[in-house]
């Protein structure tokens, strides 16, 4: 039968143990550890390790040896035993359910009996978890996220072999909300996480991720386009991209615009889908850019012009949680670490 995801978790007394957040993508593994010191959340350690090409493809581990090797390096650097891990968006299925108010055990049973109506995968092969989105007089509105058990087992195997114990698995965009937003607010946003290989568009309603999907826009694509046109090396093309971007004086703005225009259309399409099918309120919503690609010069301004909406780089939330103090270390491009930091902050959810 479909299994409740929490069966993978350790006993409750271990859930409060200090842990690093692991954000595993197709191209890299980013990690971060947050400690509470002098009434502040301090980023104690962080880093990024590149993965060999095709070690992970669309969220599926294709070379356990290579991924385990990089995780071993991170374990040796951090000297930590416990981790909280973001599951790959490519492999996760999201859907909403409205069910009568029942006990938590009965909620799990209701999900089990209905899961195949929403996901074209035999329920015996799935694990799932859920969030309570809203509560009406006699009805719970819940969001279910499900994933193939084989994918979870695959990640658990390589992480464990690298010397870590997993405290929790979580949807990456949900971890991002912990870093970016007041968890008590009624936030309505579209998160655009621009990575090297792809971009994840996530729609957030009342701090719940109600939709997440990957599209084929990534920093490497733009770099390769510049390299092809200019005849320069990939390294030189990357430098040109970071220097010129979508600025008015950019030599390559026309080719970059083609890809950014497609990204703009994807944002509109996904936002409208959530308005039509997921109960996302119509109207203007803030578009929040995160990930390494958010630093492309002129990107926020260009997308804002195309969409007619407010588009800004994300900012770390500094409300009820004390503002994260980066100490003596300089964290270059902190928006690259939004997911890893959000995972690390999960330990304070129990405070």
Q: Where are the alpha helices (DSSP H) in the chain?
A: 64-78, 104-114, 149-161, 172-180, 219-230, 234-244, 253-277, 299-307, 338-344
202 plus 310 within the same structural domain: yes
Q: What is the pLDDT of residues 65-86, one digit of tens each?
A: 999 999 999 999 999 999 999 9
Locate 102 and state its tokens: 């029942």
User: Helices H, strands E: what count in the chain?
Assistant: 9, 16
d(CA 351, CA 345): 11
Instruction: Give the pLDDT score at 136.
Output: 84
Q: Does residue 135 sit within a domain?
A: no
34 plus 173 within the same structural domain: yes
24 plus 85 within the same structural domain: yes
The count of structural domains within the chain is: 2
175 plus 207 within the same structural domain: no
pTM of the model: 0.87
- CATH number of the domain where residue 84 is located: 3.30.420.40
d(CA 233, CA 237): 6
Q: What is the pLDDT of residues 100-111, one digit of tens each?
A: 988 888 888 889
For the chain, the maximum distance between any two Cα atoms, rounded to a whole number of angstroms, is 64
d(CA 159, CA 153): 10
Q: Does residue 107 sit within a domain?
A: no
Q: What is the pLDDT of residues 131-140, one digit of tens each?
A: 888 788 889 8
d(CA 252, CA 143): 43
């Amino acid at each position: 039968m479909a299994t409740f995801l929490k069966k993978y978790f350790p006993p409750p007394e271990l859930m409060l143990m200090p842990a690093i957040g692991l954000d595993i993508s197709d191209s890299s593994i980013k990690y971060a550890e947050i400690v509470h010191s002098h009434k502040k959340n301090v980023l104690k350690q962080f880093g990024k390790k590149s993965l060999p090409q095709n070690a992970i493809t669309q969220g599926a581990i294709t070379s356990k040896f290579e991924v385990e090797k990089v995780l071993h390096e991170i374990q040796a650097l951090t000297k930590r035993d416990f981790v909280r891990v973001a599951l790959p968006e490519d492999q996760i299925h999201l859907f909403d359910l409205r069910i009568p108010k029942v006990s938590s055990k009965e909620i799990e049973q209701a999900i089990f009996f209905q899961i195949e109506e929403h996901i074209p995968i035999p329920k015996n092969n799935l694990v799932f978890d859920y969030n309570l989105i809203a509560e009406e007089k006699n009805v719970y509105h819940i969001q279910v996220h499900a994933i193939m058990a084989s994918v979870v087992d695959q990640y658990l195997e390589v992480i464990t072999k690298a010397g870590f114990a997993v405290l929790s698995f979580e949807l990456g965009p949900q971890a991002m909300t912990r870093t970016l937003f007041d968890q008590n607010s009624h936030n309505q946003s579209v998160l655009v996480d621009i990575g090297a290989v792809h971009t994840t568009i996530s729609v957030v309603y009342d701090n719940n991720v109600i939709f997440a999907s990957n599209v084929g826009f990534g920093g490497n694509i733009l770099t390769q386009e510049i390299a092809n046109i200019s005849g320069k090396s990939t390294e030189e093309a990357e430098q040109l991209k970071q220097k010129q971007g979508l600025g008015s004086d950019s030599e390559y703005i026309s080719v970059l615009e083609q890809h950014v225009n497609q990204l703009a259309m994807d944002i509109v399409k996904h936002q409208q889908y959530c308005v039509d099918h997921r109960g996302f309120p119509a109207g203007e919503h803030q578009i929040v850019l995160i990930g390494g690609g958010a630093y492309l010069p002129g990107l926020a301004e260009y997308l804002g012009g195309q969409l007619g909406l407010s588009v800004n780089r994300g900012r770390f939330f500094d409300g009820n949680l004390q503002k994260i103090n980066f100490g003596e270390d300089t964290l270059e491009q902190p928006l690259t670490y939004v997911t890893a930091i959000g995972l690390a902050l999960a330990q304070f959810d129990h405070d």
